[in-house]
Structure 1
Amino acid sequence: MAVLRTVTLVGAVLLSGLSAGLFYSYACSVMPGLAKVDDRAFVDTMQRINTAILNGWFMLSFLGALVLIAAAGLLHWRGGDRTVLLWIAAAVLYLVMLVVTGTVNVPLNDELAAAGAPDTLTDPAAVRAAFESTWVRWNLVRAVTSTAAFGCLVGALTRAS
């Protein structure tokens, strides 16, 4: 049972760290870099990124993190570990990130895709304006909440060893 507890906790730490790193990367490099390109290039690039990220490996790590956070918390709690608040905090923070993703960022991505191919847009500046600032702001929320969840799990890992 101790091995299972450790494996689920390490898995939760790793997967939540991957998500935190993804959103951090967007916040400090991808979106600032794209802020410097013209409107048509911005729309084209974001549409391509939004298509590329929808793959099984990403979804497994992105959604699997919450499953492992919950499993690790349950296994450690049943094992007598009293640091259950760290898992609860991590789960809540990660869930907030998922809710923001599903209610803000994904709908914006869908609207961007529905705008059509960049070379056919009559007003790519309007398409970009309807997307960029809101998406960037809420991505920052995702970066902060997923990083905080990762931090809680690192704290749990240090207490578990």
Structure 2
Amino acid sequence: MSKLVPALTIIAAIGSGVVGGVFFAFSNFVMAALARLPVPSGIAAMNSINIMVITPTFMTALFGTGLLCLLLIAAAVMGWSQSGSYWLLAGAVIYVIGNPIVTMVFNVPLNDALAAVDPASSNGAAVWANHLSQWVMWNHVRTVTAIVAMACFIFALL
């Protein structure tokens, strides 16, 4: 167990970094680029991204890291007296709340609403405007929490 936890922590740090990097790109330029498109084109592009993102690789990075964090929460609590346990617990909790939970509670429902709207309608324009503000705000949360979790995992290893 003493060698397993550091190895799992390294994997969690990498997973958090990968996920944070993807969300960082969306927060910093992908969504801004989509917002510059005509509304129907922006909606179509985002809907296409939402379909194509469901790959084994990205789902493993996002949700696999979340499952790994659940193991690390247990390891941190059971090994509370060990050096770095606080950082391990903090990183794992921050990642689980800020990424899988925020994704499922906020970003996915916004994606579903976007997929259900007629892109050429006035309602489509309203849903797209809401999507751009709300989805991006929650994506900022995912970006920051993934990066903070990665930093916590690194501190836990130090």
Q: How far apart are the structure 2 equivalents of 1:129 and 1:4?
A: 46
Q: How far apart are the structure 2 equivalents of 1:134 and 1:75?
A: 35
What is the letter of the counterpart of residue 107 of structure 2?
N
Contact preservation (8 Å) 2:27, 2:140: yes
Q: How far apart are the structure 2 equivalents of 1:149 and 1:54?
A: 23
State the partner residue of 1:83: 84
Contact preservation (8 Å) 1:47, 1:112: yes
Contact preservation (8 Å) 1:104, 1:135: yes
What is the letter of the counterpart of residue 61 of structure 1?
A
Cα deviation, residue 154, structure 1:
1.4
Over the aligned positions, Cα root-mean-square deviation in angstroms equals 2.0
State the partner residue of 1:106: 108
Q: Deviations over 1:36-89 (max 9, x none)?
A: 211111101100000111122211111111222343454565496221111111
Q: How far apart are the structure 1 equivalents of 2:73 and 2:135?
A: 31
State the partner residue of 2:126: 126
Q: How far apart are the structure 2 equivalents of 1:33 and 1:4?
A: 42
Say which SS state the counterpart of residue 82 (structure 1) adopts.
coil
TM-score (ref. length: structure 2): 0.86
User: Gaps spanning 5+ residues in structure 2: where?
Assistant: none
Q: How far apart are the structure 2 equivalents of 1:29 and 1:145?
A: 19
**How many residues matched?**
155
User: Gaps spanning 5+ residues in structure 1: where?
Assistant: none
State the partner residue of 1:58: 58
Cα deviation, residue 5, structure 1:
2.7
TM-score (ref. length: structure 1): 0.85
State the partner residue of 1:94: 95
What is the letter of the counterpart of residue 132 of structure 1?
L
How has the CA–CA distance of structure 1 residues 147 and 126 changed in structure 2, closer, same or farther, with 3 Å as cutoff? Answer: same
Q: How far apart are the structure 2 equivalents of 1:70 and 1:103?
A: 18
State the partner residue of 2:153: 153
State the partner residue of 2:26: 26
How has the CA–CA distance of structure 1 residues 88 and 6 changed in structure 2, closer, same or farther, with 3 Å as cutoff? Answer: closer
